[in-house]
Amino acid sequence: MASDPPGGDGDGRVLRIATRESPLALWQARHVAGLLAERTLPPQIVPMVSSGDVDMRPIDGKRSVGVFTKRIQQALLEDEGDVAVHSMKDLPTEPHPRLRMVASPARETVADCLVSPSATELEDLPKAARIGTGSRRRAAQLLKVRPDLEVLAIRGNVQTRLQKMQDGEYDAIILAAAGIERLEMQDLPRVELPLDLMLPAPGQGALAIEVRDDDSHAVAVVSQLNVPRSAACTLAERTLLSDLHGGCLAPIAALGTVSDRSGGEQPSSTLHLTARVLSTDGKTCLESQADTPIDLTFDGWQSAAIELGRGVAAMLIEQGAKTLIEAGR
């Protein structure tokens, strides 16, 4: 009989990972399966089709929150799976009462890329070039620096979007660098957009792993995948998003980073958060930032991240963020 993996708890249960069927979602599920296999028996991957994968209408205020995540959460609630793997930026900030997000592994790059047939720089795109993106955040930040662009909605997985560009529907599209790297599309002609131009969505580049709140075995095993450095950054970002009541549609961008300081008896860290709220046309851009000391070796880091997110959200609200968000719904 095979022995349990190193660090496994030996109860003999195979965890089932529920995931969407898109190539990127399956990559994410397999990545998490690999991490779990180092700690317990190799998991089983259970593909699902979400409403967001089959309904190609533009995502708007009536069909936005959870369009890619609800089917996967339903699988856990109906015992079709034990572990749900989400792109964190797609996960609603309002937690489900019977589910718990217990882990976020190491975060990938947070950058966005301008993808075009000849890897053209943003400033070199012709006037009125057609840019495909399904994100109001990306659209607003593009229009802030290039108001002449024609920013058009686009849906579908990465491969579908690339095909639409090759077919001439768009001169360029915007894709997350993390997705390009995960799909090993290193040869894709692209230009990485600098963060001062294109701040990411809250949670971009990170994975969120959910389990049933009453599944003590899954909680114990999956929580071992959590990386506090990544989790603290995304917790601050998602707290800000929640306090702004922005949802996943509003033109809100945020990035948390952790920097380490040496010196003294113990090393110390600082959590920094920068956030923007924009009008949909990019003509108005509010920005705030702040930082806080944080000790990632103790559980108190969660409170520090939450307070930082709330503080930066309050500064944006004082500048008039709620008006911009409501106007963009």
**Alpha-carbon torsion (150, 120, 187, 175), positive or negative:** negative
With a CB cutoff of 8 Å and minimum separation 6, the contacts of 82 are 15, 16, 17, 18, 76, 211, 212, 215, 218
Q: Which of 90, 112, 171, 243 is catalytic?
A: 90
279-282: which pairs have CB atoms within 8 A and are 24 or more residues apart? 279/140, 279/251, 279/324, 279/327, 279/328, 280/136, 280/139, 280/140, 280/251, 280/327, 280/328, 281/140, 281/143, 281/147, 282/139, 282/140, 282/141, 282/142, 282/143, 282/144, 282/145, 282/147
| Three-state secondary structure call for residue 117 | coil
How far are the Cα atoms of 252, 262, 289 from residue 313, in angstroms, in the given order?
11, 30, 9
Angstrom distance (rounded) from CA 184 to CA 268: 36
Residue 241 is encoded by which pair of tokens? 């998003």
Q: Residues 120, 172: contact at Cβ < 8 Å?
A: yes
Helix pair angle (23-37, 158-166), 10° resolution: 150
| Three-state secondary structure call for residue 218 | helix
Angstrom distance (rounded) from CA 249 to CA 280: 11
Catalytic, 90? Answer yes
Which amino acids are annotated catalytic? 90
